[in-house]
Structure 1
Amino acid sequence: MRVLRPFLSGPFTGWHMLGVMVLFFGTVIAVNMTMAYFAGSSWSGLIVKNTYVASQKFDDEVIETERMKAKGWASQLDVGGDAVVYSLKNALGKPIVADEVLAAFNRPVGEDQDRVLSLEARADGSYASAHDLAAGQWLVKVTATRGGELVYRDVQRIIIGTAGSE
């Protein structure tokens, strides 16, 4: 308190008010600059380079997805333990044959953990692969192709639990 004694003795002057204002606005400006630095140096939030082209592709994908849903096909994605299993069946419940099935796993808030898994055909008609995905929320885009043509596209949001919560 002895250090502040010279500042507190006597009347409150314009110099005191100037000091209060400089300290207050200096603190606000320093906090804003710190927040702006962290916002600019972290993830940009951009998932695609050209949003116009992506929006055009999105519209085409929506039309294609609606066409696929009209077929009555059903898909199931299971991510448990250390394996990803994907099954795709037609309206009669028979497995759909595909040459290649890719599952792109993307984090909704970042891209540093994103990965694409190639699922291998199994005897029961499903497709599977081992994984080492971290727990948390994922956006999974599965594409099945045959002869270079798209057979089916599926997008699901999943949550992979921790070891104790599965």
Structure 2
Amino acid sequence: MKLQAREFTGRHMLIIMLAFFGVIIAVNVVMARFAVTSWTGLVVENSYVASQQFNEKMVAVRTQNDLGWVPKLEVADGKITFTLIDRIGNPVTMSGGKATFQHPTFEAADWSVSLVPSGNGQLSASSAVSPGVWVVNIEIDCGLATPYRHSERILVKDGARL
């Protein structure tokens, strides 16, 4: 049985071209949809106002760094623990605080938790952290004129920080 060779026609070329560009358009639509629904791109509400506050924020950061305090954030077994040690190794007295967990590019999953004193100079909260990369912004009330602020990028896998 001999197979007969088929002729390549303009119709075949049209089908190939439509399939090729159809795939490209479909991928672009899907990627555009992900881009629009996952991150607004908004970093600050008003960049001019943020630029005017930059120097004040840098002075506050330098003042806080001059304290020589060492922060430690732990995430494990459904518990978030924050410890703050002064420059001579003693725990800093903290009356409470707030930890905000933010995905670097997907703000719909952002959430916050209140940190309460749990003894031994620690603040803690019972809350499981879902796996992924998180930027954790912590504000602590420890008797200063302004709250102590700490920001850290962490990776959580299997309910614990890596």
TM-score by length of 2: 0.75
Alignment match, 2:19: 27
Name whichever of 32-41 and 47-56 sits farther off.
Answer: 47-56
Alignment match, 1:44: 39
Alignment match, 1:91: 87
TM-score by length of 1: 0.74
Query: Deviations for 1:120-140, whole angstroms, at most 9, x for unmatched residues?
Result: 012211100011211222111
Alignment match, 1:152: 148
Matched, 1:137 2:129: no
Please tell me whether the aligned partners of residues 77 and 160 of structure 2 are also in contact (alpha carbons under 8 angstroms): no
Distance in 2 of aligned mates of 1:27 and 1:54: 50
Unaligned runs of 5+ in 2: none
**Which amino acid letter does the alignment assign opposite residue 129 of structure 2?**
L
Across the aligned residues of Structure 1 and Structure 2, the Cα RMSD in angstroms comes to 3.2
SS in 1 for 2:114: strand
Distance in 2 of aligned mates of 1:66 and 1:147: 18
Q: Once the two structures are aligned, what percentage of the paired residues are identical?
A: 18
**Which amino acid letter does the alignment assign opposite residue 44 of structure 1?**
W
**Which amino acid letter does the alignment assign opposite residue 138 of structure 2?**
V
Query: Deviations for 1:75-127, whole angstroms, at most 9, x for unmatched residues?
Result: 10010111000011221223323343111111223123221010001221110
Distance in 1 of aligned mates of 2:55 and 2:113: 25
Distance in 1 of aligned mates of 2:29 and 2:114: 39
**Which amino acid letter does the alignment assign opposite residue 96 of structure 1?**
V
Aligned residues: 156
Structure 1's consecutive aligned runs of 4 or more residues displaced over 4 angstroms after TM superposition are: 57-63, 146-149, 163-166
Question: Which has the larger Rg?
Answer: 1
Unaligned runs of 5+ in 1: none
Which residue among 59, 72, 78 is the counterpart of 1:82? 78
